[in-house]
């Protein structure tokens, strides 16, 4: 955990020209939140409002994410929220694989610095970082523990806004988060070997 290193990284991101997305951005969106957050949320890419403000998840999807956090007693300041690419793809198109790769070291370093207990992927682009070739409809809400961190895939909040039928799934997945964190704490206390451990919630 290091606020100054995270801020230094954000500064580098704000002037980064490693991929074509820098050409059309208004503001880069490095991410915001607690430097020692237990949970890091990783979305897809900044949208229109995020690009204007330099902050992640500030549109309707962001408001919905805030509501979801509130349901489990968390505020945005308690977690860290970022994206797989830090600059807005023009017209909100999908980020391209070369853009995700160019931006990957920033996200890798953010996670290294924050050392979260839980990494929650929102949508398929961040899911693919940890669950390559998986289908989100099949694995959302199923945690996997690797090297002491829970990786937890969820639908992107924007998907639930566009497809109300997904809301139930998103909310059910959110309600499992506190129990997963509690299990991590119990395991840390009992010092059991963590490789290949099954979380009893599933």
Task: Find the shortest distance in angstroms from Cβ 51 to ligand SF4.
Answer: 11
Pick the closer one to ligand SF4 by CB: 53 or 183. Answer: 53
**Residue placing its CB nearer to ligand SF4 in the complex, 82 or 121:** 82
Residue 36: CB atoms within 10 Å: 13
Q: Does 6 interact with ligand SF4 (rule: CB under 6 A)?
A: no
- Collapsing DSSP to helix, strand or coil, 36 comes out as coil
| Sequence-ordered alpha helix ranges (H) in 72-191 | 97-114, 124-130, 136-139, 157-162, 167-175, 177-190
**Measured from the CB of residue 108, what is the shortest distance to ligand SF4 in angstroms?**
12
Q: Least separation, in Å, of the C-beta of 194 and ligand SF4?
A: 32
Number of residues counted as binding ligand SF4 (CB under 6 A): 14
Binding mask 74-113 for ligand SF4 (x = CB under 6 A): -----------xxx-----------x--xx----------
Q: Which is nearer to ligand SF4, 21 or 38 (CB)?
A: 21
Structure tokens at 83: 């994206």
State in angstroms the smallest separation of the CB of 61 from ligand SF4.
Answer: 19
Upper half-sphere CA count for residue 157 (Cβ side, 13 Å): 21
**What is the β-pairing status of strands 32-33 and 80-83?**
antiparallel
Other Cβ atoms within 10 Å of 52 Cβ, number = 15
Please report how close the Cβ of residue 124 comes to ligand SF4 at its closest, in angstroms.
18
Tell the smallest beta-carbon distance from residue 92 to ligand SF4 (Å).
14
| Alpha-carbon distances, residue 94 vs 45, 57, 84, 103, 128 (angstroms) | 8, 16, 11, 14, 13
- Written as one string, the DSSP assignment of 41-63 is EEES---HHHHHHT-SS-SHHHH
Instruction: Find the binding residues for ligand SF4 in span 10-39 (CB under 6 A).
Output: 13, 16-19, 21-22, 28
Contacts of ligand SF4 in 104-163 (CB under 6 A): none
The site for ligand SF4 (CB under 6 A) is made up of 13, 16-19, 21-22, 28, 85-87, 99, 102-103
């Amino acid at each position: 955990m290091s606020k100054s290193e995270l801020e230094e990284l954000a500064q580098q991101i704000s002037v980064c020209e490693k991929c074509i997305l820098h050409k059309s951005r208004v503001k880069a969106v490095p991410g915001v939140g607690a430097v020692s957050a237990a949970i890091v949320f990783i979305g897809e890419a900044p949208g229109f409002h995020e690009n204007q403000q330099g902050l992640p998840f500030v549109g309707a999807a962001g408001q919905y994410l805030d509501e979801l956090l509130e349901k489990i007693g968390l505020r945005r300041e308690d977690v860290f929220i970022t994206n797989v690419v830090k600059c807005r793809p023009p017209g909100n198109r999908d980020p391209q694989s070369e853009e995700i790769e160019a931006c990957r070291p920033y996200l890798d370093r953010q996670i290294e610095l924050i050392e979260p207990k839980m990494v929650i992927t929102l949508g398929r682009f961040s899911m693919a970082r940890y669950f390559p070739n998986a289908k989100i409809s099949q694995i959302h809400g199923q945690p996997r523990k690797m090297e002491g961190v829970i990786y937890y895939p969820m639908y992107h909040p924007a998907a639930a806004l566009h497809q109300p039928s997904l809301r139930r799934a998103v909310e059910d997945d959110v309600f499992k988060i506190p129990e997963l964190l509690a299990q991590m704490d119990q395991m840390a206390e009992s010092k059991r070997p963590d490789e290949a451990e099954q979380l009893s919630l599933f």
